[in-house]
Chain A
Amino acid sequence: MRAYRMIAAMWIRSTMTYRASFAMTTFGNFAATFFDFIAILLMFSQVDELGGYRLPEIAFLYGISGIAFGVADLAIGSMDRLGRRVRDGTLDTLLVRPVPVLAQVAADKFALRRLGRITQGAFVLGYALTTLDLDWTPLKVLMIPMMVLSGGLVFGAVFVAGAAFQFVAQDASEVQNAFTYGGATLLQYPPSLFGKDLVRGVTFVLPLAFVNWVPALYVLGRPYPLDLPEWLAFAPPLVGAGACALAGLAWRAGLRTYRSTGS
């Protein structure tokens, strides 16, 4: 953790050299995701419901997904550069340092500008919380930080597993985007929009549904499309920890297969 903090701090200092560019990229991060939400607002300028859900409910799903993904992206979003390091051999420099490789790769090019994404998600969540008409209980209120944190763990596991995959397929960093960015986009919409098989896939195989769908539908008082027991809404911390453990194993397996390039 100490190594991670030091490398991250170094990258923050380095990006602050080009302050104008830092301001622009942070705003860019904010705006990039903001346009996503504008697209949803534009849809709702034409219709009142999407898949049976109204705008505040979708904003709730969107906000949680956005913040959880943003947290993982801020912490270890640079993991997708691993393939490049394997290809050009610069991973070797990380292997000889007396610091865990995972911490070094995770903190590599640490980009504070990614706070833009979290901020945007927080705005949308704020809008959702002020417009939702719900019977709030203390339990439901506590669910929100729980979802953000365990959602961050789930997305973090996807980042690590994706990086482990890049040990094998070096040029395949885009596959990772399908699960990270694609997953975050998927979770912005209610599960009722998607085919049963897709919902099953992201519930039981790649547990993205535990970032927001399963717990959020409990908060919103809506049934989950697969008839899951209600207590599963409280499972995200376990699912997040389990996903991280599996991703950690995948990472170690990937690292073991690594053969340096060159002579």
Chain B
Amino acid sequence: MGTGRLYVAVAAGGFRRYATYRVATAAGVFTNTVFGFILAYTYTALWQEKPHLGGYDQAEALTYVWVGQAMFAVMVLGSNGFEEELIERIRTGDIAIDLYRPADLQLWWLAADSGRALFQLLGRGLAPVGAGALFFDLALPSSPVRWAAFLVAVALGMVVSFAIRYIVALAAFWLLDGSGATQITWLTGVFFSGMLLPLNVFPGALGDLARLLPWSSLLQAPADVLLGKADPLGTYAFQAGWAVVLLGIGRAVQSAATRRVVIQGG
């Protein structure tokens, strides 16, 4: 089996695995829709008070809300990514088996996580946006080119999201219990991705900083490409730059971890 085909098979496995949990997916769609409604109402009040806040009109702001709900599971802004499992494997020592496999650890998990993200995009992304479009006046583009550009930004954002979580998961080699680290990553992600409030609305230097951090690749960047607020090529360069840097750090942490840390139970 060629290496390319191996990773495609791993990704397909990741997709199928999440596709098995139909009730959980439906429950997730329901929850994202409820949160979408709450946010949509608060954004409506905010934009009524100050129209064109952050450069969005009200329909664009509401579109941002529902795109955010669609990205919530894709970018793992809550929980339930691969990292919990990887941390558990590090804690129990099963990671030793993974390291003997004739496959690259980082690429293996990236493939599995891509499959997961693709499923979440279809399973948990489309329905909330549909519900939002039914009840609110959204500014969804009609041009297929814009949608395609959006999907490329989503794919790049997903790689950045993976790269961040991979580094955090590997920290379990030193921390043993990774729940604190994953929790802090999760909430930094929610805040700096623009999930609570678009980064364009953050005032002054905080806004500038937030837009430079990698988390802006997860929601703000794809949403701005979809809304036509950002140049796609520049956005891709930004996202790809962070992806390369973070994957590189992950690789360095991986080799440090496998060299220096004694496998538990080994």
Measuring CB to CB, which residues of chain A are less than 8 angstroms from any residue of chain B?
18, 20-25, 27-29, 31-32, 35-36, 38-39, 42-43, 45-51, 169-175, 177-179, 182, 185-186, 189, 193-195, 198
- In the bound complex, residues from chain B placing their C-beta under 8 Å from that of A194 are 38, 41
Q: Does B176 lie within 8 Å of A35, measured CB to CB?
A: no
Tell which of A22, A24, A38 touches B191, judged by Cβ atoms closer than 8 Å: A38
Q: How far apart are the CA atoms of A45 and B45 in the complex, in Å?
A: 15
CA distance A185 to B34 in the complex (A): 11
Q: Are B42 and A189 in contact (CB under 8 A)?
A: yes
User: Using Cβ atoms and an 8 Å threshold, which residues of chain A touch B50?
Assistant: 46-47
Contact present for B45 and A51 (CB under 8 Å): yes
Interface of A is mostly: helix
- Is the CB–CB distance between B37 and A31 below 8 Å? no
Distance, CA A59 to CA B34, complexed state (A): 22
B21-41 CB mask vs A (1 if < 8 Å, else 0) is: 111101110110011011001
Which of B27, B175, B196 has the most chain A CB atoms inside 10 A of its CB? B27
Please indicate which of the listed interface residues A22, A39, A169, A189 has the most CB atoms of chain B within 10 Å of its own CB. A39
Contact A193 B24 (CB under 8 A): no
Q: Which residues of B contact A170 (CB under 8 A)?
A: 23
A193 touches B42 (CB 8 A): yes
User: Does more than half of chain B's interface fall in helix, strand or loop, or is it mixed?
Assistant: helix
* Segment of B95-103, B154-162, B182-190, B225-233 engaged in the interface with chain A: B182-190
Contacting A at CB under 8 A, from B184-209, are 184, 186-187, 190-191, 196-197, 201-203
A49: nearest chain-B partner, CB-CB:
B49
In the complex, which residues of chain A have a beta carbon less than 8 angstroms from the beta carbon of B27? 169, 171-175
The answer to the question of B8 belonging to the interface, with a C-beta cut-off of 8 Å to chain A, is no
Q: Determine if A32 and B187 form an interchain contact, defined as CB atoms under 8 angstroms apart.
A: yes
Chain A residues with CB under 8 Å of B37's CB are 198
User: Any chain A CB within 8 A of the CB of B46?
Assistant: yes
Q: Which chain A residues lie closer than 8 Å to B57 at the CB level?
A: none
Cβ of B234 within 8 Å of any chain A Cβ, yes or no, is: no
Contact (Cβ within 8 A) A35 B191: yes
A35-B196, A170-B23, A171-B23 given; 8 more Cβ-contact pairs under 8 Å: A21-B179, A22-B180, A32-B186, A46-B201, A172-B23, A185-B38, A194-B38, A194-B41
Indicate if the CB atoms of A182 and B38 lie closer than 8 Å. Answer: yes
Establish whether residues A32 and B183, one from each chain, have CB atoms under 8 Å apart when the complex forms.
yes
CA of A24 to CA of B187 in the docked complex: distance in angstroms?
Answer: 12
Contact of A35 among B23, B41, B187 (CB under 8 A): B187
Are the CB atoms of A42 and B202 closer together than 8 Å? Answer: yes
**Inter-chain contact A175/B30, CB cutoff 8 Å:** yes
Kindly state the separation between the CA atoms of A32 and B36 in the bound complex, as whole angstroms: 19
In the complex, chain B residues whose CB is within 8 Å of the CB of A46: 46, 50, 53, 201, 203
Assess the A28–B187 pair: CB atoms within 8 A. yes
Cα A63 to Cα B8 with chains together (Å) = 49
